């Protein structure tokens, strides 16, 4: 089994994977930090559901998805600094 297929199966096992599959680009779904943790794991489920409900299907959905990932990754960092 190829690595790409294994990654697809791993993502489909996650809640965010089933919600976002086919709604954002595959490159965004596969983004991970240097430790190998997916950035989508850091996004709260309510925010993902809201994104799917409000943004999926629009031409700018990938742009907003990237912003959502970045902001969710930044929030724990800001708490550590304070």
Answer whether residue 29 shows pLDDT above 80: yes
The tens digit of pLDDT for each residue in 33-43 reads 899 899 999 99
**Separation CA 46–CA 3 (nearest Å):** 30
Q: Identify which of 65, 15, 67, 22 has the alpha carbon closest to the alpha carbon of residue 41.
A: 15
Looking at residue 32, what DSSP letter applies?
A: B
pLDDT at 79: 53
Q: How far apart, in whole angstroms, are the C-alpha atoms of residue 52 and residue 16?
A: 10
25-29, 55-59, 66-70, 72-76: the lowest-pLDDT one: 72-76
pTM above 0.75, yes or no: yes
């Amino acid at each position: 089994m190829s690595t790409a297929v294994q990654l697809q199966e791993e993502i489909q096992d996650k809640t965010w994977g089933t919600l976002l599959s086919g709604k954002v680009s595959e490159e965004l779904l596969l983004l991970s930090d240097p430790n190998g943790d997916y950035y989508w794991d850091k996004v709260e489920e309510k925010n993902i559901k809201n994104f799917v409900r409000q943004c999926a299907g629009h031409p700018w959905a990938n742009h907003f998805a990237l912003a959502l990932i970045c902001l969710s990754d930044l929030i724990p960092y800001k708490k550590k600094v304070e």
